[in-house]
Structure 1
Amino acid sequence: MRRFAALAPLALLAATPPAPDVNWAGYGGPDENHYSPLAQINAGNVKQLGLAWYKDINDGGSALSAPIAVDGVVYYASGLSHIRAVDAATGREIWHYDAQTWKVAGHKMRGAWGIRGIAYDKGQIFFGTMDGRLIALNAKTGRPAWQSMTIQPDDERYISGPPWVFRGKVIIGHGGADFAPIRGYVTAYDQKTGKQLWRFYTVPGDPAKGFENKAMAMAAKTWNGEWWRYGGGGTVWNAMAYDPRYNRIYIGIGNGSPWNRKIRSPGGGDNLFLCSIVALDADTGEYVWHYQTNPGETWDFNSAMDIELTDMVVNGQKRPVLMHAPKNGFVYVIDRESGKLISAKNIVPVNWAKGIDVATGRPIENPEARYPDGKPAVVYPSPFGAHNIEAMSYNPATGLLYIPTMDQGRVYVDPESGLAGWRHLDGQRLSTGTGAPPPGVAPDRAATSFLLAWNPATQSEAWRVPMPGLRGGGGTASTAGGLLFAGNAGGTFDAYAAATGRKLWSFNAQTAVMAQPITYRAHGRQYVSVIAGARFSSAVGLPREWNYRTQQWRLLTFALGGKARLPRAAQVETPVLDDPGFAPVASRVAAGNAAFAQRCSICHGAATVSGGTAPDLAQSPIAMDAASFRAVLHEGLLRERGMPQFEELSDGEIEDLRHYIRQRARERLSAKPGQQVNRGLHEGQ
């Protein structure tokens, strides 16, 4: 990386907000910053905000997607790939399209991640599917215009993130490197025909096969060993940003495959372009510049989080900047033209690095954080990151970033089987290349979460609001009306004063609100829409965890003077079940424990304690009956509802799972009130 001189503190460029845009046509909103210039709803009248209408979502699977709104129509995604168009003022359904992903996704459904975003351009709706298709729908009719397969036959890639649209093109990435040996890339397609225009790989492949371009040849010099056997990783599974000033697309790149660099690249190396922001020419896909947040990354500190764009004054000179808060705990301000680092500061206490050297752009690492010589290390942040997929936003009027933030650590250690014997378990489990924490080694402080307002010009905190649970803050959107909208794991959707963090309004959503809200104008009236529903795989430390069977996923839409009311929340309890005549066998419980961790915990929760994404199996009558349990797992009886098929499991392995679930149910029933029994979160995409 080139060296650059340190720069003086920044001052935000005072700019007049753009003219109001009635639409919110893509994940990043009108300006990539999750910000709207609309101000009809403002700090002075937000107390008059009420529910205008709502739509129940009953498609199965999770729905963490941000809606979009264009010309009086709201489009939203749910489940595995259901897309709906509804009237923005009334919620009346106009059309519904089901990509029937469950029929073709196969093992990719085991990733647990539902669709997380859609995009509109020139009369079409674009979205990706778990089985790897990119689909274009006619926005008026919902009929398919074209679909293109973006992945190779029978590989383990899948799409969960949103596409980006620009200059007649649509670009999409994919996930999967956490579960299989995957080499990441992004692909741009023609919006009219679905024809592939260009593809950019994010990590180098097998040198014996040659490199696609000079960027891959350069990147290969930063890897060691036979990394291509492990795929390398570097998937672009979440955020990007389009910059019309330079006609560039910025892509946020994920972690390595596996996480542990000692396995994928023995001997070290920066492993470009893992955990980087890469700028590409939007017309050709050619490499322009990169900035790597974690050279030689080994903790799952990927850079797939939001990328916000604005202008700042630096040393008296106006400069276009990119703002980024990846998992690793720092906020970065980067020059968009050159890719040079301007400043970086941690937003939570971190111990993997002492800071970021502005002169080199590289972190000042703590060597012990790399868990050397097989020694365990407690590292902050955890793989959940200080900031994850819950969208941050930037408000040009306040000059603040609003970041859903977490402070928690994780124990890292090499796998028990050793580095040489490690291998991927394709499609089955997280391919971390790390082992279980040794007894007595654990983080030294309790996990917390909060909503943070951060000044990127001064790299300092403006205010914070505590959030409930370990991962309590939902996605954010800010407005010219002086407001910040954000939900939380506790079940409310709130409006805050953007400058001070004072809560001005709150709505009881009857379930967690973790998706990103949007705001738009239709028929002269401003609306705010958000999808509500708990997407947590495992328990997240709430006094009462959300229940898959009793919570109701919904699209909620608000306006000034809204008078709609939600039905009374279900009060039905679903207790942990027990079969007194069932006698768990210790050997089968142990085997079932391993199988559950590999195949089931990603949806049904660590140690069977679900957080709302899928049913809690200790409460499931299906798990009580051997024939029913086999029909679901082996035969795929509930695939249409998002439950994957595990046809490779033998009857004996399925019965092992039942023994484990019944044992866990006994343990949970015997636990004292309020006692937590091996609860935990699950990392992932």
Structure 2
Amino acid sequence: MPMSKRTRILIGFVTFATVPAMTLLAGGASPPSGVSALVDQSDGRNWAAFGRTFGEQHFSPLADINDKTIGRLHLAWYVDLPPEASISAPLAIDGVLYTATGHSVVRAWDAGSGRRLWEFDPKAPEASGMKLRQGWGSRGLAWWNGKLYVGTQDGRLIAIDARTGREIWSQLTVSKDDLRFISGAPRVFDGKVIIGHGGADAGDTRGYVTTYDAETGKQLWRFYTVPGNPADGFENDAMEMAAKTWSGQWWKFGGGGTVWNAMTYDARTDTVYIGTGNGSPWNHRVRSQGEGDNLFLCSIVALDAKTGRYKWHYQINPGESWDYNAAMDMELADLDISGQRRQVLMTAPKNGFFYVIDRITGKLISAEPIAKVSWASKIDLATGRPVEMPGIRYADSQKSVMWPGTAGAHNWLPMSFDPRTGIAYIPKIEMATIYDDKGIDTGKWRRPSGNFIDGANHADMITPLPGAGTSALLAWDVRRQKPLWSVPTPGFWNGGTMATAGNLVFQGHADGSFNAFASDSGKKLWRFDAQVGVLAPPITYRARGRQYVTVLTGFGGAGAILGEIANRYGWDYRSQKRRILTFALDGKASLPPASPTAAPVEPDTDFAPDAALVAEGQAVYGARCTYCHGVFAVAAGLAPDLRRSPIVRDKDAFAAIVHGGALVPNGMPQFAELSDRELESIRQYVRSENRKSLRK
């Protein structure tokens, strides 16, 4: 039943102190030009950060487009993008729209017309080497004082003049020959820019974040998220403390804990909060002899923004073993809870619980499940620790069926939070993974070379389980930790959300629609046929006195691994249209007729199967190719579907691309280490999957 306006205001009532932008900046210094756009009580004219403001709420106070005027919302302009990953969040500042798509190609557009102003291409694929084998391109940008900041696949952090597109400075934030890479959006605060990285799933990677001077690129501080070799000494007291929670020779495996996505800044206390990733490798018994909490894996860590000094941490999964990372977005708010005003941090990480944490002390306030959870009965509020269910750690080669699975109950595609009502809007996933480590000697395991994921376990995401592969847009009452409403969404992999003061929540869906729902009831009020899956988080802003809504379209991302589950609508790498769509009240533009989705798989009539090579190829493909081209060679838009590719049928062309690196500039990695037999085995396996698909 729809709520009255009065009820909406009373439920989970949230207010923010009205503090001038200048006083919110540490030290009381005069703010750089336009910094008021980054404070949580800004007027909404700009969308100047990944989550619009420092608090990362993905909420806009603009309300010209609202639940009464939504019927007048039409396409104002659109632009076709090249065939590159477009699942990223744009920025809009002073009438200019900025995008970072593909391998961090940054473009500026007139926000009112879509006219391109400039383009900056860092040529990241050519510089990436083996780093190109992970990641899906840029998730977004940061902005500060007339500059844009973008991270690249090869690990550079680049500052760009927002007016001209000219590079101002560039810093390599990782080692050139390690497997660290950047796919997440940088964050800015108080004249500084912070960046993390990915890479813990395939390399001996030790996570960290680094902060640079936003004007000059000079490194200011670095914080490691897990301890290194004790023989080398510890960087600080926090690392010495964390080392006591590890066992064995963990540093030989790197440890993990990469900050590949979530970072949030609290201007009031000058604190940076980072969300850390899973262990490297996943298996706790390999990584740390099955002992210890392994700080600061899967944790929210609070750092002094000036110095990087540790303040506090909260760990969501001590001794993590399932890729339950805490790298999902973190929203800040002031909430009235049990009659007391609390400064809180909210997050819905992979493990299925929604956490509300006191952001001053790090103490857990509440945690309740938002999806099916089989691994824990509850989170103990007294200790802050989960109460684990028996048998979840797949010991003695036994299988553990885990809800949620490695895709999480919520992934990186952001939720949004309405500070007026205290309601969060979450793109919820219902998926499971079956884990075991049968056949793995946990005492002697060493990382195999070239794999896209080295979890030191077996993670089965494919076996059908009742209820798996579904999703919903969930409205969650944060103060009461209860659902307000839930709307089923197509498949399991859908877009990030944006809430507005117009009583609207926007979300793109896998079926090719871009939608607006009533914030208070979940009623669908508006739908636009985008002609392709819409996964990117939308933004809204004002330009030339008019409110616009912009979203990037295109299907792919992490869902590409589970191609057969994710791509139920046939979105194909080559045929799908990747676009910028911008809407306004009484817009007059329209899209051209939709192009066909993927053509049927044509029979590979010249294929002569070799059973031994097919079996070998399945293993090589699984280790090298699944990450982009999908399980069973069923792609989901991120990369070409190899079952359809004529290249696979041409031995020389296939070798030139896979072994020789002919398409590296296009984002296709080089696998120079593969032997002729391994190359042939991949061809045999893919061609056998072509034949199987025709029999279905």
Structure 2 segments unaligned to the other structure (5+ residues): 1-10, 19-39
**Matching residue of 2:77:** 53
Note the 1:63-82 alignment, pairs <5 A: 63-82=86-105
Give the match for residue 517 of structure 1. 538
Question: Do the aligned partners of 1:54 and 1:91 also contact (CA within 8 Å) in 2?
Answer: yes
What is the count of residue pairs matched by the alignment? 659
Aligned counterpart in structure 1 of residue 492 of structure 2, from 437, 458, 470? 470
**In the alignment, which of 117, 135, 147 is matched to residue 124 of structure 1?**
147
Name 2:509's counterpart in structure 1: 488
Q: Which of these residues, 580, 585, 588, is aligned with residue 560 of structure 1? A: 585
SS at match of 1:108: helix
Question: Which amino acid counterpart does residue 487 of structure 1 have in structure 2?
Answer: G
Q: Give me the whole-angstrom Cα distance separating, in 1, the residues matched to 2:190 and 2:300.
A: 21
Is 1:217 matched with 2:217? no
* 2:347/2:355 contact within 8 Å kept: yes
* Corresponding position: 1:413 with 2:414: no
Q: Which residue is 2:500 aligned to?
A: 479
Distance, in Å, in 2 between the alignment partners of 1:12 and 1:268 is 43
Find the aligned partners of 1:628 and 1:552 in 2 and give their Cα distance. Answer: 26
Q: 1:252 aligns with which of 275, 281, 284?
A: 275
Give how far 1:68 is off. Answer: 0.3
| AA in 1 matched with 2:512 | G
Secondary structure of the structure 2 residue equivalent to 1:147: strand
1:355 aligns with 2:378: yes
1:571 Cα deviation (Å)?
A: 2.2
Distance between the aligned counterparts of 2:683 and 2:506, measured in 1?
43
Deviates more, 1:524-533 or 1:30-39: 30-39
Contact 2:12 2:477 in 1 (8 A): no
User: In 2 relative to 1, CA 180–43 (structure 1 residues): closer, same or farther, beyond 3 Å?
Assistant: same
Q: How much has 1:398 moved relative to structure 2?
A: 2.5
Task: Tell me the TM-score normalised to structure 1 length.
Answer: 0.94
Instruction: Please give the alpha-carbon distance, in whole angstroms, between the structure 2 residues aligned to 1:580 and 1:344.
Output: 56
The residue type equivalent to 2:119 in the other structure is H
User: What is the SS of the residue equivalent to 1:474?
Assistant: coil
Aligned twin of 1:656: 681
Classify 1:81/1:373 alpha carbon distance in 2 versus 1 (closer, same or farther; 3 Å): same
Give the 3-state SS of the residue equivalent to 1:610 in structure 2.
Answer: coil
Counterparts of 2:350 and 2:41, CA distance in 1:
31
Percent sequence identity over aligned pairs: 53
CA–CA separation in structure 2 for the residues paired with 1:463 and 1:129: 39
CA contact (8 A) 1:116 1:162 kept: yes
* Separation in structure 1 between the aligned mates of residue 597 and residue 453 of structure 2, nearest angstrom: 34
Pairing of 1:339-488 with structure 2 (within 5 A): 339-435=362-458, 443-471=465-493, 473-488=494-509
User: Are 1:410 and 1:443, in contact at CA under 8 Å, matched by a contact in 2?
Assistant: no
SS of 2:655's equivalent in the other structure is: helix
Cα distance in structure 1, aligned partners of 2:177 and 2:566: 38
CA drift of 1:429 comes to 1.8
Query: Residue 622 of structure 1 aligns with which residue?
Result: 647
TM-aligned CA distance change 1:437 to 1:124, over 3 Å:
closer
Pick from 227, 244, 263 the counterpart of residue 204 of structure 1. 227
Q: Is the 8 A contact 2:397 2:436 kept in 1?
A: yes
Give the structure 2 partner of residue 681 of structure 1.
none
Shift of 1:149: 0.5
Partner residue, 2:319: 296
Aligned to 1:589: 614
2:681 match: secondary structure: helix
Measure, in 2, the Cα distance between the counterparts of 1:464 and 1:239. Answer: 25
Shift in alpha-carbon separation, 1:502–1:544, aligned structure 2, 3 A: same
Q: Is the 8 A contact 1:378 1:443 kept in 2?
A: no
Match of 2:63 in 1: 39
2:150–2:185 CA contact under 8 A, matched in 1:
yes
Say if 1:436 and 1:524 are closer, same or farther in 2 by CA, change over 3 A: closer
Q: Post-superposition shift, 1:171? A: 0.1
Instruction: Give CA-to-partner distance per residue, 1:590-623, whole Å, 9 cap, x none.
Output: 1111111011111111010111111100000111
CA distance in 1, matches of 2:495, 2:680: 38
1:497 aligns with 2:518: yes
Q: One-letter code of the match for 2:576?
A: Q
* Structure 1: distance between partners of 2:231 and 2:597: 61
Structure 2 Cα separation of the partners of residues 640 and 354 of structure 1:
48
- Letter matched to residue 164 of structure 1: R
1:428-482 per-position Cα deviation (integer Å, ceiling 9, x unaligned): 220111126599x8645433111100001000000011011122x2100111111
Q: Deviations over 1:558-590 (max 9, x none)?
A: 111111111111126522233323211001001
Distance apart, 1:19 and its partner CA:
5.3
Task: State the TM-score, normalizing by the size of structure 2.
Answer: 0.93
Contact 1:539 1:545 in 2 (8 A): no
For the pair 1:326 / 2:349, whether they are aligned, the reply is yes
Structure 2 residue corresponding to 1:107, chosen from 113, 121, 130: 130
Partner of 2:37: none
Deviations 1:89-131 (A, max 9, x none): 0010000000001111011111141110101110100010000
Q: Which amino acid in 2 is paired with 1:550? A: S
- Measured in 2, the distance between the counterparts of 1:337 and 1:152 equals 34
CA contact (8 A) 1:410 1:442 kept: no
User: Is the Cα contact below 8 Å between 1:408 and 1:448 reproduced in 2?
Assistant: yes
More displaced 10-residue stretch of structure 1: 649-658 or 514-523: 649-658
CA distance in 2, matches of 1:409, 1:528: 34
Amino acid at match of 2:658: L
Query: What one-letter code is carried by the residue in structure 2 that aligns with 1:510?
Result: Q
Counterpart position of 2:14: 13
C-alpha separation between the residues in 1 aligned to 2:239 and 2:598? 55
Q: Quick check: 1:368–1:377 contact (8 Å CA) kept in 2?
A: yes
- 1:507, distance to aligned residue in structure 2 (A): 0.5
Matches of 1:315 and 1:426 in 2, distance apart?
53
Counterpart pick for 2:117 among 70, 85, 94? 94
Which aligned pairs between 1:569-580 and structure 2 lie closer than 5 A?
569-571=594-596, 573-580=598-605
- Structure 2 vs 1, CA of residues 19 and 636 (structure 1 numbering), >3 Å: closer, same or farther? closer
RMSD: 1.6
User: Which aligned runs of 4 or more in structure 1 are off by greater than 4 angstroms?
Assistant: 14-17, 436-439
Deviations, residues 645-683 of structure 1 (Å, cap 9, x unaligned): 111112221111111111111111111xxxxxxxxxxxx
Change beyond 3 A, Cα 1:669–1:175: same
**Is the 1:577–1:621 contact (alpha carbons within 8 Å) kept by the matching residues of 2?**
no
Q: What is the one-letter code of the residue matched to 2:66?
A: N
